[in-house]
Amino acid sequence: MKLLVFAAVGYAIYYFFFRKSVLDQPKKGNDEVTMVECSSCKTYIASDEAIVKAGKYYCSQACAES
């Protein structure tokens, strides 16, 4: 039983560090996010958050529909 607890704690520590290293990776990627200009209001937004419609980027659904 003690061995099981030790294994669980060891796994928790391993999981914590593994999870932390995984979470650190997207942060590095955020520095390289491409900024695109909204075709409607000319606001710059991250390309992964932009709405693409008819080959153009929009900052929001409202801009995309205008």
Please identify which residue in 13, 35, 41, 52 interacts with Zn ion, judged by CB under 5 A: 41
Please say which residue, 28 or 42, places its beta carbon nearer to Zn ion.
42
Look-up of token digits 């900052």: 59
Instruction: Find the binder of Zn ion among 36, 50, 57, 63 (CB under 5 A).
Output: 63
Task: Give strand pairing partners of 45.
Answer: 36
Plot region of 52 (φ>0 → left; ψ -120 to 50 → alpha; else → beta)? beta
64 touching Zn ion, by CB under 5 A: no
Instruction: Summarize as ranges the residues that interact with Zn ion (CB under 5 A).
Output: 38, 40-41, 43, 59, 63
